[in-house]
Chains A and B, each alone.
Chain A
Amino acid sequence: MKLLSKRSTLHARAELVIPWLVNGSLPAEAQPALREHIAACRECREDYEEQVRVRTAMRAEGPLVFAAESSYQKLFARIQNPQAGREPPAAEPDPSLALHSVRRTSPIVHWLAAAAIVQAFAIGVGAWMWHSSSAASGAPYMTLTSTSPSYVSGARVRVLFRTDLSVGALQTLLHGVGAHIIDGPADGNVYTLGFAPAPGSSGALAKRIATLRADPAILFAEPVQNGVR
């Protein structure tokens, strides 16, 4: 009778703590009696084995595509300039950003979709760069003897645009600060901007960077230090 009561107590305890036996966080001194019970109790053993499978599945890496570095740059910009306004949380859930669309579709489909977005953006930017450089120089191409525009040797800023930014909005944004895309996209879709005419002072450059950072279409904007490409 006493043995039965001890067994049912252990059974009730096992039912509650099996997950922490599975994840290894249950105190060592509590484990031997529970393991002995689980080995002898079919119901608890099946539960334990099922929980091991669930945990294994949950620890499996899904195709999450977070860009830690660019996220950190946004935080770093906030740390450097705590007074800058933050975007309010989105009011409506965007179904295209939901977990099920990230995890339940095939990774290949996911990468193809991402590649298509990046490609479309790059084509748009490329077309606009070709158009603006042609218009600025008055010639369809530049030669080695052409006069270099001021942004070739001037201040540079690295930026990350929102991926949903349209080419038209990009043109307006860059025109507003007198900037040109002179390189990119590099790792993480980072572009390098130059300015023409070049900012006359470090204060003028800081003002342009502040304007870029204040724009919600810019995820981060950081000046390139001298000698660093």
Chain B
Amino acid sequence: MISAEQDPMPASGRSSDERECALLVRIAGRDSAAMKELYLLYHRRLARFLMRLTTRYDLAEEIINDTFWVVWQHAGDFRGASRVSTWILGIAYRRGLKTLRYAGPPPADIEVEAEAASDEPARQEELNEWLDVALRRLPLEQRTVIELAYHVGHSCEEIASIMQCPVNTVKTRMFHARRKLKTLLTTLAGPD
């Protein structure tokens, strides 16, 4: 029997959500200290997510601040229908898509095969390295689903809420993302 890998959001998740809800209430009352606390709490998580979404450092930072600008203006509208993180990630995702429409396509991949074939790190390090390359080759929607599930730790329903699509669409995107990743990682690893 495989072991249950618990991690993201049991009881500790509920209490952190309550804390974040309390921060939103204070932000709605124009409390800038609460704003700063929530911002610093989310900055790294959003930076990772948006770097994966946009592949651009400068855009990620801009989108984080756009996201929190919306949080500052609309904190009072949050009714607790979802977790705070689902609400904030949803705003960041939509801002990210909007920004990408202005910014154009990401830069092309370079010298992936040559680099992958040139060194021989341990298996997990290889996977870390090649995963970045492989993820960038997935369609944006599939890349976003896998990032939200594996890095951020959201449930299928929460991802559907963030991406504003049906739950089954999330499952299908994840299914295809995994299949493509497997093929890409095998290709990058090359013959044994």
Known contacts A54-B131, A91-B104, A93-B104; A23/B150 CB under 8 A = yes
Residue of chain B at shortest CB distance from A26: B155
A16 touching B65 by the CB < 8 A rule? no
Known contacts A57-B124, A93-B104, A100-B136; A68/B44 CB under 8 A = yes
* B47 cross-chain contacts in A, Cβ below 8 A: 64, 66
3 nearest interchain CB pairs? A25-B155, A99-B55, A68-B43
* A185 cross-chain contacts in B, Cβ below 8 A: none
The answer to whether B127 has its CB under 8 Å from any CB of chain A is yes
B7: contacting residue among A23, A57, A79, A92, CB under 8 A: A23
Interface size class of B (residues with CB under 8 A): 35 or more
B133 touching A58 by the CB < 8 A rule? no
Other than A19-B146, A66-B44, give 18 A-B pairs with Cβ distance below 8 A.
A16-B175, A22-B150, A23-B149, A35-B4, A36-B1, A54-B131, A69-B40, A71-B43, A72-B43, A75-B68, A79-B35, A79-B69, A89-B62, A89-B102, A91-B103, A92-B104, A93-B103, A102-B51
* A100 cross-chain contacts in B, Cβ below 8 A: 55, 107, 109-110, 132-133, 136
What string of 1s and 0s marks CB contacts (under 8 Å) between A60-92 and chain B? 101010101101101110110000000111111
A93 touching B56 by the CB < 8 A rule? yes
The answer to whether A171 has its CB under 8 Å from any CB of chain B is no
Stretch at the interface among A44-52, A136-144, A201-209: A44-52
* B55 cross-chain contacts in A, Cβ below 8 A: 98-100
B interface, by DSSP: helix, strand, loop or mixed?
A: helix
The answer to whether A55 has its CB under 8 Å from any CB of chain B is yes
Q: Which residues in chain A, 132-158, are within 8 Å of chain B measured between CB atoms?
A: none
Return 22 A-B CB contacts under 8 Å, by A number.
A19-B174, A25-B154, A25-B155, A39-B2, A48-B2, A50-B182, A56-B124, A58-B131, A66-B57, A69-B40, A72-B36, A75-B68, A78-B65, A87-B62, A88-B102, A92-B103, A93-B104, A98-B55, A98-B56, A100-B109, A100-B132, A104-B115
Q: Which residues in chain B, 40-57, are within 8 Å of chain A measured between CB atoms?
A: 40, 43-44, 47-48, 51-52, 55-57
What string of 1s and 0s marks CB contacts (under 8 Å) between B164-184 and chain A? 000000010011001001100
A interface, by DSSP: helix, strand, loop or mixed?
A: helix
The answer to whether A97 has its CB under 8 Å from any CB of chain B is yes
